[in-house]
Amino acid sequence: MNIHADALAEADRSGSHPLFRDVPSSVEFNKLRKRLLRQLRQAMEDFSMVRPGERWLVALSGGKDSYGLLALLLDLKWRGLLSVDLLACNLDQGQPNFPKNVLPDYLSAHGVPHRIEYQDTYSVVTEKLPETSTYCSLCSRLRRGHLYRIAREEGCAALVLGHHREDILETFFLNLFHGGRLAAMPPKLLNDEGDVMVLRPLSYCAEADLEKFAAAMKFPIIPCDLCGSQDGLQRNAMKAMLDEIERRMPGRKDTMIRALTNVRPSHLLDRKLFDFGGLAPVGV
């Protein structure tokens, strides 16, 4: 029997997906797992993400968020609550000291269908930008383009990303403070070509919960050597600001997320979004 079949057979005996065979049995972990699953399912329902029979490409970077996303989706699928096929995909971007064997070994050992793609975007980014620049934007665009291509090649209707609640809020404040617009990360987005849907099922999930989940699941985390070592990023400033707000006023992050779902165009200043010129008292 091969590794994939061994993992699935073991899972059949334990009644859960192979990724969960060695998880803690504590009440705390079970509550955490249920909370993340509930929030993930709520996001998928709220934004109509699931179309039965589709195939999803789940982007796996090796960080805590994408590991958590993959595990939760596999958990739902194992329970019969997610009617799509899943293909995990890691894009090896040629970063220095990237441990190439970690992800394929981990995925194979747990019976997870996957594809590993090598594209040296690291050289492109470092060649085009000076060391003092922020690499994230260009790196993200190059990575996204390759993931769209892979989704097409694999017959996947959706690219699924591990962005969470804090990512959405940080993006909102980055746009507010630096972009002069009200915009965040949408939980569901159609790419420019119109052939691949981008989904973010972790939109309601807290980063702190995903950190605890990753630690309990013992994911083999791979740090980002490209941008993770850059200091002074604007996003880090937004993260620090939000953490300070949450420390002073617990629960504000959840309130902010709810606010993004409760927009009143008539109480903003966008004349393209609301017809202020058409407002007039009754009888005039």
State pLDDT tens for residues 109-119: 999 999 998 87
Measured CA angle at 190 (ends 184, 194), to 5 deg: 150
pLDDT digits (tens, 9 = 90+) for 221-231: 987 654 544 44
Q: What is the pLDDT of residue 284?
A: 58
For residues 163 and 69, give the distance between their C-alpha atoms in angstroms, rounded to a whole number: 9
- Going by pLDDT thresholds of 50, 70 and 90, the confidence category of residue 126 is low
- 132-137 long-range Cβ contacts below 8 angstroms, 24+ apart: 134/227, 134/230, 134/233, 134/234, 135/226, 135/227, 135/230, 136/227, 136/233, 136/235
CATH superfamily of 3-264: HUPs (3.40.50.620)
Residue 230 tokens, joined:
């850059």
User: pTM of the predicted model, to two decimals?
Assistant: 0.86
- Going by pLDDT thresholds of 50, 70 and 90, the confidence category of residue 13 is very low
Q: What is the pLDDT of residue 87?
A: 97
Q: What is the pLDDT of residue 235?
A: 85
Q: Are 3 and 109 in contact (CB under 8 A)?
A: yes
Identify the CA nearest to 252 among candidates 192, 156, 161, 166.
166
Q: What is the pLDDT of residue 115?
A: 94
